[in-house]
Structure 1
Amino acid sequence: MLQDITINITDREGITHEVLAPTDMNMSIMELVRAYELVPEGTIGICGGMAMCASCQCYVLNEVKLPEKSAEEEAMLQEAFNVKDNSRLGCQIHITEAIGGLKIELAPET
């Protein structure tokens, strides 16, 4: 049976939120951030989750096994600002039981 998992998200103001994420709705981290209203509306997921804008860039802060980056995600991150070695696009990280305990920090807007 699928269950909710806990994810820690540090917002752009530096506040960490421990949120419950459903594993049965095919949501991404970007959609989770929107659902919890952790950023102002219109500042994340501008491309609709197509890996084309990097507005949902985040930094992975712990050793949770994530799926490999797609070629599209790699290409977008090469063009984005504030990219670090642990950068990922939140729209490309889907919520599954395997990522329970994930800790991320949202990248700055600009």
Structure 2
Amino acid sequence: MITVHLVAANGATSTLEVKTGDSLMQAAVSANVAGIEADCGGLMTCATCHVYVREPFASQLPPPQDDEAGMLEFTAAERRPTSRLSCQITLADELDGLTVDLPDAQH
């Protein structure tokens, strides 16, 4: 189990104890975290699980694949250098303490 922190646009933080191997999106949806819509269920066709990954974790993640990079062009909120789709972040031991900020809108 690892700990991840999801910070809403209003500053409210959800701290989750999650198992490795799941995606960040799966963990957030299972915990009913507001702000991760995940309309497509993780099929990478909607960009409604957009997050901003904080350092040092943003630079530890592999770069987005072409499909993810393309979907990030369609986010409702501003795309930033640390923008990622949470469905594409696989939780692993080295991501213990991962903190992401949720955008103010997913639609």
TM-score range, shorter chain: 0.7 to 0.9
Once the two structures are superposed, residues 4-60 of structure 1 have per-residue CA deviations (whole angstroms, 9 ceiling, x without a partner) of 11111113443112211111xx311111111111127xx611112111111000001
Paired AA for residue 6 in structure 1? T
Paired AA for residue 50 in structure 2? Q
Compute the RMSD of aligned alpha carbons. 1.6
Q: Say if 2:23 is the partner of 1:28.
A: yes
Q: Say if 2:79 is the partner of 1:79.
A: no
Q: Which runs of 4+ in 1 moved over 6 A?
A: none
Contact 2:75 2:106 in 1 (8 A): no
Contact 1:67 1:93 in 2 (8 A): no
Aligned pairs for 1:1-110 (under 5 A) are: 4-23=1-20, 26-39=21-34, 44-64=37-57, 65-82=60-77, 83-107=79-103, 108-110=105-107
Paired AA for residue 53 in structure 1? C
TM-score of the two chains, using structure 2 as the length reference: 0.86
Paired AA for residue 103 in structure 1? T
Q: Which runs of 5+ in 1 are unaligned?
A: none
Q: Which runs of 5+ in 2 are unaligned?
A: none
Paired AA for residue 7 in structure 1? V
TM-score of the two chains, using structure 1 as the length reference: 0.84
Paired residues, number:
103
Which has the larger share of helix?
2
Q: Percent identity, please.
A: 28
